[in-house]
A and B are shown apart, each in its own frame.
Chain A
Amino acid sequence: MTIDTLIHIAINIGITIINIAIVFAVAMLHVAYATYFERKVIGHMQVRLGPMRVGPHGLLQPFADGIKLFFKEDVIPANADKPVFYLAPVIFLVAALTSLAVIPYYQGFVIADINIGLLFIFAMSSLGAYGIIISGWASNSKYAFLGGLRSAAQVISYEIPMGLSLVGVMIMAGSLNLTEIVNAQHESPYGMFAIPQIVGFIVFVIAAIAETNRTPFDLPEAESELVAGYFVEYSGFRFALFFLGEYIGMFIMSSMAAICFLGGWTIPKYITDVLPFLSYVPGIVWFLLKVYAFIFFYYWIRATVPRYRYDQLMAIGWKILIPVALANIVVTGLVKILL
């Protein structure tokens, strides 16, 4: 190894670290303001104002919440399994943050452009389930334990339709690399896979909401039955870690929807043919618009739909979503062979 190659490696590592810092900072800001806009959007949907006190229109509310969480007392149950109790929120957050590394935000900007990007995100989302299950177990509390068990069953059940719904996208793009999936969409006559893969898209959206434990699939933390579910015994900053992980999970699912079904940072060619000035808009704007639209959809559903019963949740996953996703794969494969 010569000095030149060492310098080259060092520069590459430096660029990667800078990229990680940028993505991390932007993701944290997004999480902070996702909580603010969630309260605002749901407030206005329920004819309330939402947070108004801290700063103009409550704009500084996320910082106030963060400071409060940071300085709260860290309570640990006396009979908790302490090492596992400490570990659970870290696993949950790390699994969510790691997925951010393979998401292409715009042409050429991705921390790790790996060939198995899609599978990597599946792997990390299944790792996140451990954070939930062992936090419920280690807390040594009935509410947390039941929440953890429910969540384990839910995440395992809904990972299958989520994976199957994306197989159609893999078949159409012919790749597992997220950048190549976006490029394949830009090349295709539809411009985005949400049009030919509409069935897969609907299955993915439902499964994504269930994967992130959001209403109407938020049984693991059903307030009226389980207080707060698996993280009921966590307080202060450990609670904040779970909160961060959950919101980053939402952003990852939204990014996946934007990348795999809505064309990522590109817009369909037939739109730029009609309105050529739109092609000068930077790709990150389109990507963020798609992600924000999806996040808004999450809030909208939370404000509209009541929670499902547990058996309904399982029936939707196993009896409707999985067969529909399987049929979608067969049809997509046949179309790919025949056309």
Chain B
Amino acid sequence: MLQQLFFAYFAVTIIVFSILVITRRNPVHSVLWMLLLFFHIASLYLFLNAEFIAAIQIIVYAGAILVLYLFAILFLNIKEEVKVNRFVGAWPTGFTFGIALFIVFILSLRSFIAAPPGNYSIELIKAETHTKALAKVLYTDFLFPFEVASVILLVAIVGTIVLAKRRLKS
């Protein structure tokens, strides 16, 4: 009962905050609602006993990415920005497609089959700490996808440096 209540609270607030993020006229206010949203998502991870993911959610998304967003937004002219309409003219079309997709998701939930449980039960993760369990799986069973993801990120980093550096010695 308590669990359902907790989940209901986080689910409802996450949806409300997401709507607030996209409807605020002032982009700085959007960012602040987004910050609150990230904290609620982190709480959901904690709720799933995924404490490491929760901490990383805050450090990477709230601490790094959102700060960079805020940094970029601070250079906008907020007085002009507030007057501009927040949504493009074709938003009803997008809204219709969004609703349609949502209905498809709801319908497909019926055929949802839970995957067979792996070795890691909640008790095992609690005994071993979530960080250690995650690290073991990432660096043994899923080493290849993990490395592929890091190479893709590295490519993005090199790409930004190439783009930002105007004069390249050809």
Which of A's residues lie within 8 Å of B, judged by CB?
A: 81, 84, 87, 114-116, 119-120, 122-123, 126-127, 129-130, 133-134, 137, 145, 148-149, 152-153, 156, 159, 175-177
CB-contact partner of A149 in B32, B54, B74, under 8 A = B74
Q: List 25 A-B contacts (CB under 8 A).
A: A81-B26, A84-B28, A84-B29, A116-B54, A116-B55, A116-B130, A116-B131, A119-B52, A119-B59, A123-B58, A123-B62, A126-B58, A126-B62, A127-B58, A129-B63, A130-B32, A133-B70, A134-B28, A134-B70, A137-B28, A145-B74, A152-B70, A156-B67, A159-B63, A176-B129
Bound-complex Cα distance A148 to B74 (A) = 10
* A130 in contact with B51 (CB, 8 Å): no
| 0/1 interface trace, chain B 71-98, chain A, CB 8 Å (1 if under) | 1001000000000000000000000000
Name the residue of chain A whose CB is nearest to the CB of B39.
A127
Name the residue of chain B whose CB is nearest to the CB of A115.
B129
Note all chain A residues with C-beta closer than 8 A to B32.
84, 87, 130, 134
17 further A-B pairs in the complex, CB-CB below 8 A; given A133-B70, A176-B129: A81-B26, A115-B130, A116-B54, A116-B55, A119-B56, A123-B58, A126-B59, A126-B62, A126-B67, A127-B58, A130-B35, A130-B67, A133-B67, A149-B71, A156-B67, A156-B68, A177-B129
* A127 in contact with B62 (CB, 8 Å): yes
Note all chain B residues with C-beta closer than 8 A to A116.
51-52, 54-55, 130-131
Note all chain B residues with C-beta closer than 8 A to A114.
51
Bound-complex Cα distance A148 to B75 (A) = 12
Given A84-B28, A133-B74, A134-B28, the answer on whether A126 and B51 have CB atoms closer than 8 Å is no
Name the residue of chain A whose CB is nearest to the CB of B29.
A84
Note all chain B residues with C-beta closer than 8 A to A84.
28-29, 32
Name the residue of chain B whose CB is nearest to the CB of A88.
B32
* A127 in contact with B70 (CB, 8 Å): no
Bound-complex Cα distance A133 to B28 (A) = 11
Bound-complex Cα distance A122 to B130 (A) = 18
* B67 in contact with A123 (CB, 8 Å): no
The answer to the question of B106 belonging to the interface, with a C-beta cut-off of 8 Å to chain A, is: no
Bound-complex Cα distance A11 to B71 (A) = 45
Name the residue of chain B whose CB is nearest to the CB of A119.
B55
* B70 in contact with A122 (CB, 8 Å): no
The answer to the question of B5 belonging to the interface, with a C-beta cut-off of 8 Å to chain A, is: no
The answer to the question of B164 belonging to the interface, with a C-beta cut-off of 8 Å to chain A, is: no
| 0/1 interface trace, chain B 33-76, chain A, CB 8 Å (1 if under) | 00100000000000000011011101100111001101100100
Note all chain A residues with C-beta closer than 8 A to B29.
84
Bound-complex Cα distance A251 to B141 (A) = 42
Bound-complex Cα distance A149 to B67 (A) = 11
Least CB distance, B75 to chain A, in whole angstroms:
9
Task: Count chain A CB atoms within 10 A of each CB in B54, B56, B67 and give the residue with the most.
Answer: B67
Tell me the B92-134 residues at the A interface (CB within 8 Å). 129-131
Least CB distance, A256 to chain B, in whole angstroms:
15
* B74 in contact with A129 (CB, 8 Å): no
Note all chain B residues with C-beta closer than 8 A to A176.
129, 131
Note all chain A residues with C-beta closer than 8 A to B67.
126, 129-130, 133, 152, 156
Which 8 residue pairs spanning A and B have beta carbons closest together?
A126-B63, A119-B55, A123-B58, A115-B129, A116-B55, A116-B51, A123-B59, A122-B59
Least CB distance, B134 to chain A, in whole angstroms:
11
Note all chain B residues with C-beta closer than 8 A to A159.
63
Note all chain B residues with C-beta closer than 8 A to A152.
67, 70-71
Note all chain A residues with C-beta closer than 8 A to B62.
123, 126-127
Note all chain A residues with C-beta closer than 8 A to B26.
81
Bound-complex Cα distance A169 to B168 (A) = 40
